[in-house]
Structure 1
Amino acid sequence: MDIEAANKLQAQIQDSRQKYTYFLLTAAGACIGYAVEKATGPALQWKSIALAASLIAWAASFWFGCRAVKRNEYGLQYNHAWHVEARSPADKIALDSLLTSEARSSASSSRWQFRFFVVGGGSFVLWRLLELSLR
């Protein structure tokens, strides 16, 4: 595979990953808003624990999504510096280390973003089932 084709493929992968991260950020925000809107009645009931868990999980998902975006941005800055500003092999080695660290951190944040989003959804469904069964 030639370099130009590899670069285009990498750009498509990066674009797809960013869209997925932003989709989950939007979905988590919408879920928080919907859950707050659906919450009615006394807040201190035992069944509200599942609702609180869903809100906390979605908030964590949102936070990890923001962290993934920021880490990805840092990685792009380090990559730019590697190509434009790095003069010596020592500079490139240091930037390689930073790039690897940011890539790992961004990937980890993305995984946790998805996990917390799913946990929030499960908790919300549990809360709705408890609401409906106790009527």
Structure 2
Amino acid sequence: MSQEEELELFRQFRSVQQRNSYFLLAAAGAAMAFSMTQTKAEPLIWPHALWVLSVSAWAWSFYSGLQFIEHAGSALFQNHNYLVLKRLISGMPPDKAGVEMKDLKERFDTTLGRHDRKMKIHGDLQKYMLLAGAVTYFLWHALEMYIAKV
């Protein structure tokens, strides 16, 4: 695989990753907005605890999505900085450039690793909290239907 093909594959991966995150952000926002319309005229009573949990889970999902996007942007910026510094170091004398490149690579790997871990955590939280919000919302809705029947 050529370097150009690898770069294109990476661009496509990032594009899919971003679209997925934005879709989940929109879903969480829409879910919160819709659930608010369902309770705007009701007094707050004990069954609404499940509703509060669902809205909280969606809010957490939304926040996690924002954090994911922030860390993805920071990782891209770090990659850019690495390439610029690598180009500058390559103009140094060979004996000094080797030491500088090793130090730069270690610091870059540490920083990028931290962003990757946080992206994984926030990406997973975004998905799971969206799902948890949906489950608790359905439970709340079922409880409301049961109470209305009784």
Residue by residue, what CA displacement relative to the aligned partner does 1:62-98 show, whole Å, maximum 9, x if unpaired? 0000000000011001010111124321122201210
Offset of residue 103 of structure 1: 1.2
Scaled by the length of structure 2, the TM-score of the pair is 0.86
Q: What does residue 23 of structure 2 align with?
A: 23
Aligned residue type for 2:128: R
| Cα separation, 2, equivalents of 1:97 and 1:75 | 11
Q: Work out which of the residue numbers 86, 104, 107 in structure 1 matches 2:120.
A: 107
Q: What does residue 65 of structure 1 align with?
A: 65
- 1:36 and 2:33 correspond: no
SS, match of residue 61 in structure 2: helix
Q: What does residue 7 of structure 2 align with?
A: 7
Offset of residue 107 of structure 1: 1.6
Moved >4 Å (runs of 4+): none
Superposed CA RMSD:
1.0
Aligned residue type for 2:123: S
| Cα separation, 2, equivalents of 1:8 and 1:127 | 46
| Cα separation, 2, equivalents of 1:124 and 1:8 | 41
Q: Work out which of the residue numbers 120, 130, 142 in structure 2 matches 1:117.
A: 130
Gapped runs of 5+ residues in structure 2? 90-99
Scaled by the length of structure 1, the TM-score of the pair is 0.95
Aligned residue type for 2:42: G
| Cα separation, 2, equivalents of 1:96 and 1:82 | 10
Offset of residue 27 of structure 1: 0.7
| Cα separation, 1, equivalents of 2:121 and 2:9 | 22
| Cα separation, 1, equivalents of 2:29 and 2:84 | 37
| Cα separation, 1, equivalents of 2:42 and 2:126 | 30
SS, match of residue 46 in structure 2: coil
| Cα separation, 2, equivalents of 1:24 and 1:97 | 29
